Structure 1
Amino acid sequence: MSDHRELAERWFSRGWAGGDTGFAEEVFAEDFVLNGKKVGPAGPRRSVAAVHSAFSDIGVELDLILTDGPYVVTHYTTTARHTGPFRGVPASGRSITATGIVIWEIGDGKVVQDWNVFDTAGLVAQITAGHEDGGPGEG
């Protein structure tokens, strides 16, 4: 299933880290389901746009990619700088590192379903660390 691996590598580097979502229809099926909700290729486009509006210098390291039949599982580490509002927290300028796991089901060469877990709480803790009021501070 090297094609599954290549699909994940391409999306994470060019789409997620690079911000290029112009090829989302090549990766995600028209009826693509994200965490139980049908979103089509527009769903990943919105996710990438939201991340890139809040963070810059985004890097993604694919720590582990496993394939099994129609599934590809990816554990990744993201690094970035917090340069825009995120979850109500104004830009802090802080560097962050966060991890996630994504499970994709592939059908006819495209992602048809995605289940994922991302350490959003850990990320928010990094951009608000050291501030008792939970707000951002000097980065």
Structure 2
Amino acid sequence: MTFVQLIDCKTSRFDEMNRIMDRWVEKTRGRRTATHDVIGRDRSDASHFIEIVEFPSYEEAMRNSNLPETDQVFREMVALCDEMPTFVDLEVVRDEQLYTDAVRRLFGTLATAGELPPLNDLIAEGCHSHDPVNPQDTIGLDAIRREYRMWRDAFDFTFTIEDLIEQGDRVCARWTWDATHKGEFLGIPSTGRRVGMSGMTLFRFGEDAKIAETWWQHDQLGLMEQLGALDELER
């Protein structure tokens, strides 16, 4: 079970403390067990800092604490604090990855039959979509919805998300796409063929927690081959 430790301290010498932490990171590289570390400063008190450290489990946190470098850096940091730091140990009982949930919702919505929803709860009005198969970026929610409708009019399809990784304001999805060609696509009449491709999409979220930018990578050449579009070129 994920374990989180909160370290609450007051110091007027944060720059010095920061340098100590940098040295600890360097000395323990490859051996420390923390997976995420965030330090926040109190907006109402510039000397008040809270560090949030995440570990895969309590046992891994104890392994981290038992490193000799950890004990040394703790003593050095305490010496820079205005008072003794306090610690809160937390077993995580609920963990929501809100950006990854939004990405899952988008893929699910795109693959759902019927009228395409407005998507304004997921995508920002000024969103930029980058796709190497398009000569220009698709800019704006309305233009992005038109592009999505073009795919939906041409295919009945499903997405399978193989991997979903969130870091900061970005989410990367690796997916596979399985479809039936039911309508005209880039000048190719409906073939009724079952087709598929794999790809990756990087999503950047804005301050409003909506998708602000996307980068698509997919095997469109392979798709065109499956649709028979390359047959004439091979003759």
Task: Give the TM-score normalised by the residue count of structure 1.
Answer: 0.85
Matched, 1:5 2:100: yes
> How many residue pairs end up in the alignment?
132
Q: Structure 1 residues 38, 86: CA separation in 2 closer, same or farther (over 3 Å shift)?
A: closer
Instruction: Call closer, same or farther: CA 1:26–1:121 in 2, change over 3 Å.
Output: same
- Which structure: greater strand fraction? 1
User: For 1:3-31, what per-residue CA distance to the aligned partner results, in whole angstroms no more than 9, with x for missing partners?
Assistant: 111000000011x2115532411111111
Cα distance in 1, alignment partners of residues 102 and 205 from structure 2 = 10
Letter in structure 2 aligned against 1:93: G
Counterparts of residues 1-139 of structure 1 (less than 5 Å): 2-14=97-109, 16-19=110-113, 21-35=116-130, 37=137, 39-56=139-156, 58-107=157-206, 108-128=208-228, 132-133=231-232
Select the structure with the greater relative contact order (CA < 8 A; seq sep ≥ 6). 1
The alignment yields a C-alpha RMSD, in angstroms, of 2.1
- Shift in Å, 1:32: 0.8
How many percent of aligned residue pairs carry the same amino acid? 24
- Tell me, which stretches of 5 or more residues in structure 1 are unaligned? 135-139
Distance apart, 1:75 and its partner CA: 0.9
User: What TM-score results when the alignment is normalised by the length of structure 2?
Assistant: 0.52
What code does the residue aligned with 1:17 have? A
Distance in 2 of aligned mates of 1:95 and 1:68: 35
Judging changes above 3 Å, is the alpha-carbon distance between structure 1 residues 100 and 52 closer, same or farther for their aligned structure 2 residues? same
Q: Specify the structure having the higher radius of gyration (Cα).
A: 2
Which amino acid in structure 2 is aligned with residue 109 of structure 1?
A
Tell me the equivalent position of 1:137. Answer: none
